[in-house]
Amino acid sequence: MPDPDIRAHRLGKAEIEDNFADLHPPLSRSEALIEADRCYFCFDAPCTTACPTGIDIPSFIQKIRSDNVRGSAKTILSENIMGGMCARVCPTEVLCEEACVRNTHEDKPVEIGLLQRFATDPILEDGVHLFERAEASGKRVAVVGGGPAGLSCAHRLAMLGHEVKVFNRDPRPGGLNEYGIAAYKAVDNFAQREVDWILSIGGVEVEDGVSLGGDFSLSALRDAYDAVFLGIGLTLVNDLNIDNEDLPGVENATDYIAELRQAEDKSTLPVGRNVVVIGGGMTAIDIAVQSKRLGAERVDLVYRRGPDDMSASEFEQHLAQVSGVSVHHWLHPKALLGDDHVTSIEFDKNGQSITMEADVVFKAIGQRLADQQLASELQGIDVEYGKIVVNDSQATTLPGVWAGGDCVAGGEDLTVSAVQHGKVAAHAIDRYLGGDNG
């Protein structure tokens, strides 16, 4: 077996920059007007019903058609304050666009995601303030987590007149939008520009680099604040539970994606010659495609079930294949092989052993709440299958504490769903605090 071949500069800087260019270039004005004109402006539109945040899609498209882009953006952002990011990363092909009445064998759905981006991008670029704060309530709310759920909750609470402090464990706010999605989906530092715009409403203080259970306790927050929202995400990566999992070269996909997203020069990142990715979700697709675009000669994505069971959308699966990723199904990991570094991985397929050469193996089989580490903090909060249990208003079983995003049970682990959780929780908290705006 040859020595592992992991190194930087497999491709030149210019080629890598081209590989990581915007996945979906924005529409021009004329293209947006033509696309908007394809909408039937349905009554009780199925696309709106399919949107987790309930954006009135025919309304925002009609405003684009009438050249009222700012009004279109307000329609979107009133329901989804991260409408700009969701226009880039939301799996529209299985949500609003799949529900579009034009989505037939003879036609194609209206490109709702691109139209949403067309409407929202100018607002962020120009720093336009669309929302004002209500009269100060005198109430203070702690938000734990600076990801989509936490920022959505914080913004809506600020709109409703409450003072908010966000406790964020990362060096910068944004959560998975900043650290966890493929770099070609949000270019030009978009995640941070969107965060800056969201925080510009005022009334929201952010403290970075602090974590629940390490720098502060939930009980202390409950004593100091009138309500608490938990958007703490999922910090632990699921294990393969096979031999030699601790070998060098066996990596968590989320860690490498975060490193890639923060790299000023992607050509300096080390990448293997033969990369194997284990998983079937969006993270697996993201790390597989990005490894290929960084210069890996061979990337194999391996999933233990069939294509219909993969949580990655059909579009994402197709993206992997056209990017040169070899996708394999019905393979179960058995053992990682190597002495000082992983050199291959063995799989089982219907009783037959299959071995793949690998310099790097990425684990992308899901994440879980660090519930054991947070056991003392989560006392009084029901946790089921490693996630926090909430009701329809995002309330936990602990009075005065709400939760949302990836850390709660029953969610789809999507930015758009996290934004909705934060919004719903904010209105519930407002009612709890005696507000009349919820």
318-332 tens-digit pLDDT: 999 999 999 999 999
Closest C-alpha among 122, 123, 207, 130 to residue 164: 207
Asked whether residue 376 carries a pLDDT value surpassing 90, the answer given is no
- Sorting pLDDT into bands at 50, 70 and 90, what band is 385? confident
- The pLDDT score that the predictor gives to residue 47 is 97
What is the helix (H) or strand (E) element at residue 419, kind and residue range? helix 415-432
Q: Which residue has the higher pLDDT, 413 or 261?
A: 261
- Sorting pLDDT into bands at 50, 70 and 90, what band is 437? low
Tell me what the mean pLDDT of segment 357-379 comes to.
Answer: 89
Asked whether residue 82 carries a pLDDT value surpassing 60, the answer given is yes
- The pLDDT score that the predictor gives to residue 411 is 76
- The pLDDT score that the predictor gives to residue 369 is 86
Q: How far apart are CA 99 and CA 49, in angstroms?
A: 9
DSSP state of 54: -
Q: How far apart are CA 113 and CA 325, in angstroms?
A: 25
Closest C-alpha among 168, 170, 188, 193 to residue 180: 170
Q: How far apart are CA 158 and CA 245, in angstroms?
A: 45
Q: Which CATH architecture has domain 140-234+369-432?
A: 3-Layer(bba) Sandwich (3.50)
Tell me what the mean pLDDT of segment 402-430 comes to.
Answer: 95
Q: Which residue has the tokens 């009269």?
A: 135
Asked whether residue 375 carries a pLDDT value surpassing 90, the answer given is no
Q: How far apart are CA 299 and CA 321, in angstroms?
A: 10
Q: How far apart are CA 136 and CA 435, in angstroms?
A: 11
Tell me what the mean pLDDT of segment 70-85 comes to.
Answer: 98
119-166 tens-digit pLDDT: 999 999 999 999 999 999 999 999 999 999 999 999 999 999 999 999
Indicate the domain borders of the chain: 6-20+237-365, 38-126, 140-234+369-432
Closest C-alpha among 56, 55, 63, 44 to residue 101: 44
185-223 tens-digit pLDDT: 999 999 999 999 999 999 999 999 999 999 999 999 999
Q: How many CA atoms within 13 Å lie on the side-chain side of 299?
A: 25
Domains 38-126 and 140-234+369-432 share a fold: no
416, exposed or middle or buried, with CB in 10 Å at 0-12, 13-18, 19+? buried
Q: How far is CA 98 from CA 53, 92, 313, 329, in A?
A: 16, 7, 11, 25
Asked whether residue 3 carries a pLDDT value surpassing 80, the answer given is no
Share of the chain above pLDDT 90, in %: 93
Residue 253 backbone dihedrals phi, psi, to 5 degrees: -60, -40
Strands 236-237 and 352-357: unpaired
Closest C-alpha among 150, 163, 152, 147 to residue 202: 163
CATH topology for 38-126 is: Fumarate Reductase Iron-sulfur Protein; Chain B, domain 2 (1.10.1060)
Q: How far apart are CA 82 and CA 169, in angstroms?
A: 20
Query: Worst-scoring range by mean pLDDT, 69-78, 79-88, 305-314?
Result: 305-314
How confident is the prediction for the chain on average, in pLDDT? 95
Tell me what the mean pLDDT of segment 18-27 comes to.
Answer: 95
Tell me what the mean pLDDT of segment 422-432 comes to.
Answer: 98
- The pLDDT score that the predictor gives to residue 212 is 95
- Note if the pTM is more than 0.75: yes
User: 10 Å Cβ neighbour count for 383?
Assistant: 18
Tell me what the mean pLDDT of segment 294-318 comes to.
Answer: 95
| DSSP state string for 344-383 | EEEEEETTEEEEEE-SEEEE-S-EE--TTTTTTTTTTS-E
What is the helix (H) or strand (E) element at residue 262, kind and residue range? helix 253-262
Q: Which CATH architecture has domain 6-20+237-365?
A: 3-Layer(bba) Sandwich (3.50)
User: 10 Å Cβ neighbour count for 39?
Assistant: 23
What is the helix (H) or strand (E) element at residue 140, kind and residue range? strand 140-144
- The pLDDT score that the predictor gives to residue 154 is 98
Tell me what the mean pLDDT of segment 362-388 comes to.
Answer: 89
215-225 tens-digit pLDDT: 999 999 999 99
